[in-house]
């Protein structure tokens, strides 16, 4: 052997410092292999070769898998994949040198094919032929099988018609009497797929993230949102919005697509995931901008949400409630109970009197919107004005007489007793009408002192009589003096 050949052989075992050796490449390749593959497993692999009869797929093991080309033809006979495409297939048979793959067992076959599908839990294709009592008649490998209605879908099946004539993949759950008793389940396959999708989804989300989903059902306490097939989250009614809600339907509707913030991810006693969501926390807190949007003196229209003994709460914007104290409800009416003025659900006009965003409080007034009747009371009711009013309330010290909406004066008991006996003032009842005159008015203190209309008239007459007598007396004195002067002459 020549020295050159020896050198060549030795060079085969050497590699450059920057390149991995063959042994390292082989070890790296084998490390990525999936040696736990078994019959019935579902794999996802890329098409590596196509010949006249088979499509070869990388299974992630040392051996490529083969699937009959006929299984991958569409209705027109065209191959529905090409090199590099990724396929999802089931392992239907394997040995040391070969792995057979299939989309699902289908076509014509004997009992042995059904046994393989049953024992290895390999999906089998079937066509739904008809709806029968308790379920569906399904044709599999030219044999009649039965799928209970509860096993046709993961959701409750109300209408059977949409399933008739459809071809699905099923699992064989019962195989007896030499193939004469075949029971199928499509639901188990769907649940398996959903479990994988659900697990992948749960690994991607965490509390604090905002997710999207579809409202699937509603209960009095909240709404359920489908986040992915087979996985729901629940939004409590208090988390559906910043506003107070009587029922979930006030905020969302079935089929609506919404965004929500993940609050908690827990598991129940059976190990099932429980996800708490919030729609309102996925949006900005309305109180953060309340001071800018609702300045003091701003007039708004809001909806009464609830009534308490001390006032009514009014929502002026989603999530923004203010209190109208009972004393701020009306200038023109004496309000004892808020429900005498408003009721929940009623729209009212209010004015902002005070706002504290940090404490999430707002003081509102209804009476400021309608206007203060005392502003022009002095012009409307000057002293001496005689007006007919209504007895509003009787007290020991006098009667309160309503003169106009929001304007009430006091007729003192001392003046009532001093009135003529035939005036009948003491016999007045609440609601009776009576003529009174304005004695004094103090708009700053919102007080009007009243007197019986006859008493005021008598005062006017006495003032007139006193002036008249004084004038006549002066004239008489002058006449007398003139008579005396004439007698002296």
Residues 430 and 410 in one domain: yes
Distance set, CA 129 to CA 107, 122, 171, 465, 478 (Å): 15, 21, 17, 117, 135
Residues 301 and 333 in one domain: yes
| Residue 44 counted as domain residue | yes
- Segment-wise mean pLDDT, segments of 10 residues, the chain, 489 residues: 46 50 48 60 86 88 84 80 87 78 64 82 89 92 90 90 93 87 92 88 91 94 92 93 89 93 90 91 91 91 92 93 92 85 91 93 90 83 90 90 88 84 79 91 89 62 47 56 60
| The pLDDT of residue 30 | 44
Please tell me the distance from the alpha carbon of residue 474 to that of residue 468, in angstroms, as a whole number. Answer: 10
Can you give the residue range of the structural domain that contains 419?
A: 373-457
| Residue 312 counted as domain residue | yes
| Residue 68 counted as domain residue | yes
Q: Which of 145, 166, 191 is the last residue of a domain?
A: 191
| Residue 146 counted as domain residue | yes
Residues 149 and 224 in one domain: no
Q: Which of 370, 395, 428 is the last residue of a domain?
A: 370
Residues 382 and 433 in one domain: yes
Q: Which of 445, 393, 378, 455 is nearest to 418 (CA)?
A: 455
Q: Which of 216, 247, 282 is the last residue of a domain?
A: 282
Query: What residues are paired with 267 via a beta bridge?
Result: 273
Distance set, CA 240 to CA 76, 313, 321 (Å): 50, 20, 17
| The pLDDT of residue 21 | 58
Residues 148 and 161 in one domain: yes
Domain tally, the chain: 5
Residues 219 and 239 in one domain: yes
Q: Is the whole-model pTM more than 0.85?
A: no
| The pLDDT of residue 111 | 76
| The pLDDT of residue 265 | 92
| The pLDDT of residue 5 | 46
CB within 8 A of 73, min separation 6: which ones? 79, 80
Residues 361 and 378 in one domain: no
Q: Which two tokens stand for residue 395?
A: 């007290």
Residues 392 and 446 in one domain: yes
Residues 86 and 150 in one domain: no
Q: Which of 142, 100, 101 is nearest to 125 (CA)?
A: 142
| Residue 448 counted as domain residue | yes
CATH of the domain at 141: 2.40.50.140
Residues 391 and 422 in one domain: yes
Going by DSSP bridges, is the β-strand pair 320-325/361-365 parallel, antiparallel, or unpaired?
A: parallel
Residues 406 and 382 in one domain: yes
| Residue 15 counted as domain residue | no
Residues 254 and 297 in one domain: no
| Residue 466 counted as domain residue | no
| Residue 13 counted as domain residue | no
């Amino acid at each position: 052997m020549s020295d050159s050949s020896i050198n060549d052989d030795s060079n085969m075992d050497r590699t450059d410092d920057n390149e991995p050796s063959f042994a390292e490449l082989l070890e790296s390749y084998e490390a990525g292999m999936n040696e736990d593959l078994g019959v019935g497993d579902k794999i996802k692999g890329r098409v590596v070769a196509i010949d006249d009869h088979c499509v070869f797929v990388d299974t992630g093991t040392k051996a490529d898998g083969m699937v009959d080309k006929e299984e991958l033809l569409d209705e027109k006979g065209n191959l529905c994949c090409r090199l590099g495409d990724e396929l999802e297939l089931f392992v239907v048979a394997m040995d040391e040198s070969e792995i057979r793959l299939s989309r699902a067992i289908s076509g014509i076959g004997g009992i042995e094919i059904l046994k393989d599908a049953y024992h290895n839990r390999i999906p089998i294709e079937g066509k739904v032929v008809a709806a029968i009592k308790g379920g569906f008649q399904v044709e599999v490998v030219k044999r009649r099988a039965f799928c209970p209605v509860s096993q046709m879908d993961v959701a409750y099946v109300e209408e059977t018609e949409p399933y008739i004539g459809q071809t699905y993949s099923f699992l064989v759950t019962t195989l007896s009497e030499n193939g004469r008793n075949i029971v199928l389940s499509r639901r188990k396959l769907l649940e398996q797929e959903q479990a994988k999708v659900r697990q992948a989804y749960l690994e991607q989300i965490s509390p604090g993230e905002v997710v999207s989903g579809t409202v699937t059902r509603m209960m009095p306490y909240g709404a359920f949102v489908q986040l992915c097939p087979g996985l729901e989250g629940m939004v409590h009614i208090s988390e559906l919005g910043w506003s107070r809600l009587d029922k979930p339907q006030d905020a969302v509707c079935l089929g609506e697509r919404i965004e929500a913030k993940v609050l908690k991810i827990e598991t129940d006693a059976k190990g099932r995931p429980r996800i708490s969501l919030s729609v309102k926390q996925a949006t900005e807190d309305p109180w953060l901008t309340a001071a800018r949007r609702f300045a003091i003196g701003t007039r708004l229209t809001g909806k009464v949400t609830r009534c308490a003994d001390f006032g009514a709460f009014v929502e002026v914007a989603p999530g923004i409630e203010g209190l109208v104290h009972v004393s701020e409800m009306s200038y023109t009416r004496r309000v004892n109970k808020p429900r005498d003025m408003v009721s929940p659900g009623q729209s009212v006009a209010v004015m902002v009197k005070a706002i504290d965003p940090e404490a999430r409080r707002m003081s509102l007034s209804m009476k400021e919107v309608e206007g203060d009747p005392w502003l022009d009371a002095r012009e409307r009711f000057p002293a001496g004005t005689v007006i007919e009013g209504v007895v509003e309330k009787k007290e020991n010290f006098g009667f309160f007489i309503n003169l106009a909406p929001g304007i009430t004066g006091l007729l003192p008991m001392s003046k009532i007793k001093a009135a003529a006996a035939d005036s009948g003032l003491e016999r007045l009842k609440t609601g009776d009408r009576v003529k009174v005159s304005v004695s004094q008015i103090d708009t700053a203190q919102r007080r009007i002192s009243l007197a019986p209309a006859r008493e005021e008239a008598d005062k006017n007459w006495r003032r007139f009589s006193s002036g008249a007598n004084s004038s006549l007396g002066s004239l008489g004195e002058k006449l007398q003096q003139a008579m005396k002067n004439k007698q002296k002459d």
